[in-house]
Amino acid sequence: MHDDIPQDNAQAAWSLETLAIRAGHDRGPEQEHAEPIFPTSSFVYGSAAEAARKFNGDEPGNIYSRFTNPTVQTFEKRLAAMEGGERCVATSSGMSAILCTALALLSAGDEIVASRSLFGSTVSLLDKYLARFGIVTRYVELADLDAWEAAITPATRLLFAETPSNPLAEVADIAALADMARRHDAWLAIDNCFLTPVLQRPLELGADIVIHSATKYLDGQGRAVGGAVVGGHDLLEGVFGAVRTAGPCMSPFNAWIFTKGLETLGLRMRAQCENARQLAVWLADHSAVASVHYTGLENHPQHALAARQQAGFGAVLGFTVKGGQQGAWQVVDATQLISITGNLGDVKSTITHPASTTHGKLSDEQKAAAGITPGLLRVSVGLEAPADIRADLARGLDALI
Ligand SMILES: *Cc1c(COP(=O)(O)O)cnc(C)c1O
């Protein structure tokens, strides 16, 4: 690791494409070309005095891989640079990234205001676990700024949103939420899993914290579970403390996979967005499809906001088929190529029936309130040829006409 100043200065001018490939692994004398893996639990020193300096924090360096590990640091530096954050802390999963953010920022009696359409395990974490420790979450419609404002109380410390939402692709105005958070002395955290820094950089729009499930697009090839939190030094020092104390750190092997994943993230995202756009246009025209939820379509209610706030429309789309659950299941069961799974963000296209899987635990009323209708399907569009993805869905859809 060569943390010399000239390299950092050069990095400040690099574009996202370059940072994705070069950040966190500086050029030095006789350096490994590929990022090395350090599969070690701990680190040793040349003397008692050196050990003391490292443990006291008088000298930077690694002590134990629950705290820091060079391979994990490479991933952290690269993702921080791509998100435009001062610091990143990697975690064992997206969920532990959210948990450790809460551990770092919140105390009993504090409140969270969150979008209703959050990832299911996030809702469970907030309602089943954080609630037991006296942290209350109030849910609001993601796109309704007045509802956010109305839900804030003097105890509110954190606004938490996932935008665009899954699977209905609603969009929150991040700059407006950041402004609201500042006025109420709260922080804004954005789960940026669906767009990644390639398509959306919440910190530049005023958010305080960005959260990732690296499991999805950052890896992009379904190989590892991991997460990350990105933001300013002060907040991230707290998150780092929570991770190193509670222990959900990222393994060096997984960090290496995610680091290599970041190198192709831009190319993958742009290609997957284009495949998704083509599929959305085709689906919108199919007579067995009642509606398509994709911010890239001009008739999407928040198309203009998405176009302004995002550098692309993402590669996950929802669509409702005629014939309710039976029709939806027929389309799923007619596929031969697309993976039937709840996962997303992979180069392999995936299809999900939310009402019976990811949102299956919700009551019928909750499903109706969340817009999870029986005929709704979600496709995470991968890198297969668009014509093959279309043909795979056409088999089931044509049978419904
Ligand atoms: C998958 C996901 C998570 C949780 O991440 P894990 O890596 O599975 O723990 C959080 N938020 C969103 C939006 C996700 O899609």
For range 84-96, the mean pLDDT: 98
Q: Which domains does the chain have, with CATH numbers?
A: 7-263 (3.40.640.10), 266-399 (3.90.1150.10)
Confidence bin at 366 (pLDDT 50/70/90): confident
Identify whether the C-beta of residue 1 lies closer than 8 Å to the C-beta of residue 8.
no
Give the nearest ligand 1 atom to 118 CA: 13
Compute CA distances 281 → 37, 203, 275, 295, 386, whole Å.
43, 31, 10, 11, 12
Sheet holding 350-352, edge to edge: 289-293, 316-321, 376-380, 350-352, 339-340
269-289 confidence digits (pLDDT tens): 999 999 999 999 999 999 999
Kindly report the CA angle at 315 between 314 and 320, in degrees rounded to 5? 110
- Choice from 163, 213, 254, 343 to test ligand 1 binding pocket (greatest atom count within 8 A of CB): 213
pLDDT at 180 (0 to 100): 98
Mapping DSSP to helix (H, G, I), strand (E, B) and coil, where does residue 124 land? helix
Evaluate: CB of 225 within 6 angstroms of ligand 1.
yes
Distance CA 276, CA 310 (A): 15
pLDDT score of 382 more than 70: yes
**Ligand 1 site, residue 75, Cβ cutoff 6 A:** no
Tell me the mean pLDDT in the region 301-319: 97
Average the pLDDT over 212-226 and give the result: 97
In the predicted structure, residue 225 carries a pLDDT above the cut 50? yes
Look at ligand 1, atom 2, and give the residue with the nearest C-alpha. Answer: 213
- Ligand 1 centroid–CA 132 distance in Å is 22
Q: What percent of the chain has pLDDT over 90?
A: 88
Ligand 1 contact, 160 CB (< 6 A): no
Q: Is 261 in the pocket of ligand 1 (CB under 6 A)?
A: no
Name which residue sits closest to atom 6 of ligand 1, judged by CA. 94
> Tens digits of per-residue pLDDT, 234-256?
999 999 999 999 999 999 999 99
Task: Report the chain's mean pLDDT, rounded to a whole number.
Answer: 94
Residue whose CA is at the smallest distance from ligand 1 atom 5: 94
**pLDDT of 317:** 96
| C-alpha separations of 252 from 35, 78, 90, 258 in Å | 11, 15, 10, 10
Which band of pLDDT confidence, cut at 50, 70 and 90, is reported for residue 9?
A: low
At 2, the pLDDT band (50, 70, 90 cuts) reads very low
Phi, psi of 67 (to 5 degrees): -90, -65
Å from CA of 174 to ligand 1 middle: 20
Q: Is the pLDDT of residue 354 over 60?
A: yes
- Encode pLDDT of 312-340 as tens digits: 999 999 999 999 999 999 999 999 999 99
Query: What token pair was written down for 297?
Result: 């379509």
Residue 35 Cα, ligand 1 centroid: separation in angstroms?
A: 26
Does 33 or 110 have the greater pLDDT score?
A: 110
CA 134 to ligand 1 centroid distance, Å: 24
pLDDT tens, residue by residue, 174-208: 999 999 999 999 999 999 999 999 999 999 999 99
346 pocket-lining for ligand 1 (C-beta < 6 Å): no
Q: Which residue has the higher pLDDT, 166 or 315?
A: 315
Tell me the CA end-to-end span of the chain in Å, nearest whole number. 61
Q: Is the CB of 282 under 6 A from ligand 1?
A: no
Residue 209 near residue 230, CB atoms below 8 Å: yes
Calculated CA dihedral for residues 27, 28, 30, 35, nearest 10 degrees: -50
Distance (angstroms) between ligand 1 centre and the Cα of 357 equals 15
Q: Name the percent of the chain lying above pLDDT 70.
A: 98
pLDDT (0 to 100) of residue 383: 97
Q: Residue 91 Cα, ligand 1 centroid: separation in angstroms? A: 12
Residue 8, pLDDT score: 59
Q: How many whole angstroms from 29 Cα to the centroid of ligand 1?
A: 39
Does this model's pTM top 0.75? My answer is yes
Residue 59 above 70 pLDDT? yes
> Ligand 1 atom closest to Cα of 95?
9
Contacts of 57 (CB under 8 A, 6+ apart): none
Residue 120 predicted with pLDDT over 90: no
Q: For the segment 125-145, what is each residue's pLDDT rounded down to a tens digit?
A: 999 999 999 999 999 999 999
State whether the beta carbon of 310 lies less than 6 angstroms from ligand 1.
no
Q: Are 276 and 313 in contact (CB under 8 A)?
A: yes
Please give the pLDDT value at position 3: 47
In sequence order, the 6+-apart residues with CB closer than 8 A to the CB of 61 are 43, 54
Q: Is the CB of 352 under 6 A from ligand 1?
A: no
Separation CA 77–CA 24 (nearest Å): 5
Q: What integer pLDDT is reported at residue 138 of this predicted model?
A: 97
**pLDDT > 50? residue 389:** yes
**Whether residue 167 has its Cβ less than 6 Å from ligand 1:** no
Provide the pLDDT for residue 5.
Answer: 45
Q: Is 188 helix (H, G, I), strand (E, B) or coil?
A: strand
